[in-house]
Amino acid sequence: MPPTLLLSRELPTLKYVSTRERFDRTWEAPLSTLLGLGRAAGSDFVEFFLERVNYISCLAEDDRITSISPSLSTGAGVRVFRGKADCYVSTNDLSFAGLKAALEKALSIMGLQLPSPNSYIPEINLEILRDYATAKGKEAWLLESSSMREMGEVLLDANAKLNLKANHVQSRRATYFRDWQEVLVASSDGTFARDIRLNQSVGYSLLCADGEQRASISKRVGSTSDPNFLRTWQYEADAEEVAESAGKMLYADYVESGTYPIIMANEFGGVIFHEACGHLLETTQIEKETTPFIDKKGQKIAHESLTAWDEGLSENAFGTIDMDDEGMPAQRTLLIENGVLKNFLADRAGSWRTGHPRSGSGRRQGYTFAAASRMRNTYIAPGNHSVDDLFASIDKGIYCKKMGGGSVGATGEFNFGVEEAYLIENGKITKPLKGAILIGEAKEIMNKISMCANDLGLASGFCGSVSGSIYVTVGQPHIKVDSITVGGR
């Protein structure tokens, strides 16, 4: 153990023995020394993010396993702040010399130099390690997860069930991945925290064809913190659901373009709120001045029926985290209450630059990315209406049961395809429709969500932004949108 105060010239001779197969308290001494070096060089804040990943994916196409893709990685990133400016450098060399070299590079980018040889380098006094992995029994998760053989067997059985349930099958795909991640965060404010995450996802993609008629339906479910997830997947029920939807859409009429009231189903229907509004409430958008809500805190931005949350606490939801990637414990953030904007989502850098408080939302894909303000489990809260109330309020409209892919512009303009839709007439579903595309703009659509049912449902998803691709939850109850442009034929 080095003395409390080191001379800069003594750094090259230091010998640290840190545990290589896991991140534990043996990393405290080298990281506290490096953090002290960064502060002694003149930086205002320094953070290290260490990561180990064990990832595997498996793909079954029709009756064959066509791809198994494992991936192992280890690395670290260092972020240096000087005032409100910062830079980020990553490395896969976790030796003391390797981490020191990454720190030196980051300091030089910020115009800072290492202290002179006779300068004292104080160690940063880190907190006692907050070890969520040990405290919550996560150490055995990787060993308890499904083996490669199990993955193949389950996916082939699932695809066989799908073939029995569906008609006019052109292609069947079942996919699964497991992403195990161990992280350690140490920063110059004393943060010292460790966690293990386990995200898994499995799903179907079905294409049916009869002559010129086509229908494509998919379904995916996800889990965090359950090593037995794949073993307990109810693939027969999912196969029946996907096959039934494809059968209805195969011969459906194409929707007529126009402006309609719509009902959006619960669960994955929440993807539109996530994309069209959620991203605009992240401080990364405030920093770029690309959100129409930049100065709207405390003001009405949505219909008074709408309340929305973002949180990392829901048990086993895809975006649930015990701590974010800056070491801050998870929490709940009220975004909108009865139509009024209450809070933004802020990481450390976003908080410093915008003044909005941190919300435990600093997230990243991995060690090659700096953390940024990102969503976790984001959803519209349940309302006081029944689903029947929503349908009864519409004379002619469209029920959007399954959302597909789409795109969103920087300031909230969006278009989303609908995989499964139905015509509503006199409060009743009458016939299936296909080819519907929802077109709108965030500021307008939020004010047209006039009714929320009481059947909140959550769905797993993937979100891409400046800090890479991360796991999130989208969700909502059934909601009524008073009018929206629907593209079709």
Domain boundary residue, one of 219, 237, 252: 252
What are phi and psi for residue 26, nearest 5 degrees? -65, -15
Q: pLDDT digits over 46-104, tens only?
A: 999 999 999 999 999 999 999 999 999 999 999 999 999 999 999 999 999 999 999 99
In this predicted structure, which of 373-377, 441-445, 465-469 has the lowest mean pLDDT?
Answer: 441-445
| Number of domains into which the chain is organized | 3
Distant-in-sequence, close-in-space partners of 386: CB < 8 Å, separation ≥ 6: 453, 454
Size (the chain), residues: 489
Tokens of 226: 């359950």
The pTM assigned to this predicted structure is 0.94
- Residue 122: pLDDT band by 50, 70, 90 thresholds? confident
The CA distance from 6 to 262, in Å, is 67
- The reply to whether 325 and 466 lie within a common domain is yes
- The reply to whether 339 and 437 lie within a common domain is yes
pLDDT at 484: 96
- The reply to whether 302 and 416 lie within a common domain is yes
Percentage of the residues of the chain whose pLDDT score is greater than 70: 99
> Closest Cα to residue 269, out of 455, 489, 430?
455
Tokens of 480: 């009524």
Q: pLDDT digits over 309-347, tens only?
A: 999 999 889 999 999 999 999 999 999 999 999 999 999
- Residue 4: pLDDT band by 50, 70, 90 thresholds? low
- The reply to whether 299 and 385 lie within a common domain is yes
Q: Domain span at residue 474?
A: 258-487
Q: Is residue 190 part of a domain?
A: no
What are phi and psi for residue 281, nearest 5 degrees? -105, 10
- The reply to whether 317 and 430 lie within a common domain is yes
- The reply to whether 173 and 305 lie within a common domain is no
One DSSP character per residue, 99-144 reads: HHHHHHHHHHHTT--PPPTT-EEEPP-PPSPEEHHHHTT-TTHHHH
Q: How many CB atoms lie within 10 A of CB 462?
A: 12
Is residue 3 scored above 50 in pLDDT? Answer: no
Q: pLDDT digits over 181-237, tens only?
A: 999 999 999 999 999 999 999 999 999 999 999 999 999 999 999 999 999 999 999
**Which residue in the block uniquely carries the two structure tokens 């090593």?**
227
Amino acid at 61: E
**Which residue in the block uniquely carries the two structure tokens 């070491």?**
327
Question: Which residue has better confidence, 411 or 370?
Answer: 370
What are phi and psi for residue 247, nearest 5 degrees? -60, -40
Mean pLDDT of the chain: 95
The CA distance from 360 to 193, in Å, is 13
| Burial of residue 97, with CB atoms counted within 10 A of its CB: 0-12 exposed, 13-18 middle, 19 or more buried | exposed
Q: pLDDT digits over 346-375, tens only?
A: 999 999 999 999 999 999 999 999 999 999
**Which residue in the block uniquely carries the two structure tokens 């891409």?**
464
Q: pLDDT digits over 421-435, tens only?
A: 999 999 999 999 999
Q: Is residue 313 part of a domain?
A: yes
